[in-house]
Amino acid sequence: MRLRDKRVLVTGGSRGLGRAIAREFRREGARVGYTYSQNEAPEDGLRGFCVSVLDAPGTKAMVEELERAWGGLDILVNNAGVTQVLPLALMEEEDWDRVMDVNVKGAFLTSRAVLRGMIRRKAGSILNIGSLAGVRMIEAPVHYAASKAAIRGLSQALAKEVGRHGIRVNCLAPGILEDGVARNLPEHRLEQYRRHCALGRFGTLEEVARFAAFLVSDENSYMSGETILMDGGL
């Protein structure tokens, strides 16, 4: 119960890694709210909000509602993200804008809304979900890799800015997992990853979620501004 009584918001928490993180945090004792962008059944024991990370007024209203109900937010996980398997030569400007907006601007808008309360309370932890594609030179969609590299930079700069308020900011960059982005990759890319991965397999959503719980917990009180790779040893 390392997150007992912690108050958490997870963006994009209705599926894939976001859902695994929300469920794991709940098992660790946290009260968890999450955002989703489509009509989906609410998750038992969690508080869902149909709010886009690009909806600044909606995000602000959601955060204010959670703060009224819970007295504040202790943890933010910026997980919401999109991608496309598309070469740059065939990419439209709208494709680039959508990936950069959701993956980077969404993290900015949500962090801004949550940080105001964290700064007042002089405490908090933000975990941004990055990607191996934002750290290593691998075959990945250019706009996705650029957006995840931006998340790494955002994490470092924000950690420096808010550290004096007792707030930690870190970035968790998984490799290919059994679910999520991997579903859109061709088989030859997946086999290549397995061949070069020291552990010879993909990660699981649950493995990443358990590690995320440690990263945001009080047990990890002296780490900030770091990007942690979790790729099975690539």
* β-pair partners for 229: 173
DSSP class of residue 175 equals -
201-222 b/e with 16+ CB inside 10 Å = b? Answer: ebbebebbbebbbebbbeebee
144 is annotated as an active-site residue: yes
Nearest to 21 by CA among 230, 233, 194: 230
Helices 106-121/56-70 angle, 10° precision: 30
Catalytic residue among 34, 36, 144, 193: 144
| Cα distance between residue 231 and residue 167, in whole Å | 26
Q: Supply 30's token pair.
A: 């946290």
With beta carbons less than 8 A apart as the criterion, state whether 132 and 138 touch: yes
What contacts 91, CB < 8 A, 6 or more positions away?
84, 142, 143
Catalytic residues: 144
